[in-house]
Amino acid sequence: MTASASRRLNVGVVGCGYWGPNLVRNFDSIETTQIKKVCDASPERLAHMKRLYPSIDVATDFDELVEDPEIDAIAVATPVQLHHRLGMKCLEAGKHTFIEKPMALSSAQCDDLIDLAHRNRLTLMIGHTFIYTSEVRKIKDILDSGEIGDVLYISARRLNLGLFQKDINVAWDLAPHDISIILFLLGADPVTVNCQGKAHVAEGIEDVTNMSLDFADGRFATIMSSWLDPNKVREMTIVGSKKMLVYNDIVAQEKIKIYDKRVEVPPHYDTFAEFRFAYHYGDIYSPHVQQIEPLRVECEHFANCIADGSAPMTDGADGKKVVEILEASSASLRRNGASIPLARPDVRAQA
C-alpha cells in the first residue's frame, strides 16, 4: 500500500509510552507524512495524545489500526516481546512497517518479518536512530578518510540509573544502540561474542553487562551497559593507529573530539635494552557538526523509502544482525562469558 503522490503518507503509531510520542511528533511534523491514528492499551495515554494532537484518531484495539484502509504505514513502539506479533500483523495487512529496536526477540522472528515484507513488497525499517545522527555520520566520514589511521579497537559505555525493564536485560535494552553504531562504523560483522554480567535487582535479568565483539581482521569492541550507575554516560572511544576519537553524546556541544595522540613502536632494535616506546602528543580539536534531530531524519528516510521503493539504511537485515549479536550475548551469559561464534560472519558493504 502506497500513499498517493497528491497527499501525505498516513501513519499509525502503536505504543504511546516512553518513545512512541516522539515518533508521533516527528511523523506529524514532516511534509510527507501525517499521523492518522495512535493505539495504546492505556486510555490515559491516549487522552494525553489527543490533547496534544486533537485531529488524530485514537484506539485501544490494535486491530483498528491495521484494518484502517486509510493508513499506509505503522510504527511499532511497544515492548520488544510484542514486536514480532504486531509487526507481522502490520505486514499481513499491507502496511509499511517501522519497528523500534531491538527488532525482535530472536533471529528466527526477524526472518519471519523480513520474509513477509519481501513477499508483500513492503518497506520494513528498524529504528536504529543513532545511524541517522549527524555525529555518527561524521565519525564514519572521519574513519573512512583515514585520518585516525587503522581502527585498533572501540570502547563504548552506556550507563545510567534505570530505567529497569521487566522482560529483557540491560544488554538487550541499551547495547543495540552501540552495536548498530559499531557495525556501521567498521563495515563488518563480528565473528565471536563474549558477555559477562550480573543481576543485582531482579533475579534473572542482568542489570550490568560487559560485551566483547571480535572481528576477523583483529579489531575488537567492548560495550559496557548498566542500569545501576549513578551518572548517565553515553560515550564511545575509537583508538586508531594515528589518532584517537571520543564521541560523548551527553554534552550539548563538541560531541566529537579528535586527539592527536598515539604510541609509536621503534621500527628497529637489537636488544631489549634498546626497546623504547615513544608517545606522540599533539592537538585536540572538535570538528563542526550540523545539529539536526536524528529522529526527524529517520522518519523522513522511512517515508522516502516508501515513496521510491529503496531499501532503508537500517532495514530488516541490519535489525537481524543486531539481534544475532544479542542472542550470542545471552548464550555467553548462560555459559559464564564463554566465546560464542556467530553463524554467518561477513563483510558488510561500505555505506
Is it the case that residue 328 has pLDDT exceeding 90? yes
Q: Which pLDDT belongs to residue 268?
A: 62
CA distance 224 to 254: 23
Is it the case that residue 344 has pLDDT exceeding 70? no
Per-domain residue ranges of the chain:
9-122, 131-294+324-341
Q: Which pLDDT belongs to residue 321?
A: 97
Is it the case that residue 4 has pLDDT exceeding 60? no
Is it the case that residue 55 has pLDDT exceeding 90? yes
Is it the case that residue 347 has pLDDT exceeding 60? no
Q: What is the mean pLDDT of residues 309-318?
A: 97
Architecture label for domain 131-294+324-341: 2-Layer Sandwich (3.30)
Could you confirm whether domain 9-122 is CATH 3.40.50.720? yes
Strand order in the sheet with 192-198: 278-285, 256-264, 244-248, 228-240, 151-161, 220-226, 208-214, 192-198, 340-341
Phi-psi region for residue 284, left (φ > 0), alpha (ψ -120 to 50) or beta? beta
Question: How many alpha carbons fall within 13 Å on the CB side of residue 65?
Answer: 30
Q: What is the mean pLDDT of residues 152-156?
A: 97
Q: Which pLDDT belongs to residue 170?
A: 97
Residue type, 325: I
Report residue 258 CA to chain centroid gap: 23
Q: Which pLDDT belongs to residue 351?
A: 30
Least confidently predicted of 62-76, 241-255, 263-277 = 263-277
Q: What is the mean pLDDT of residues 197-207?
A: 94
Least confidently predicted of 125-129, 232-236, 260-264, 314-318 = 260-264
Q: Does this chain's domain 9-122 share its CATH topology with 131-294+324-341? A: no
Percent with pLDDT over 70 in the chain: 92
Q: Which pLDDT belongs to residue 2?
A: 47
- What pLDDT, in 10s, does the model give residues 78-119? 999 999 999 999 999 999 999 999 999 999 999 999 999 999
With beta carbons less than 8 A apart as the criterion, state whether 214 and 166 touch.
Answer: no
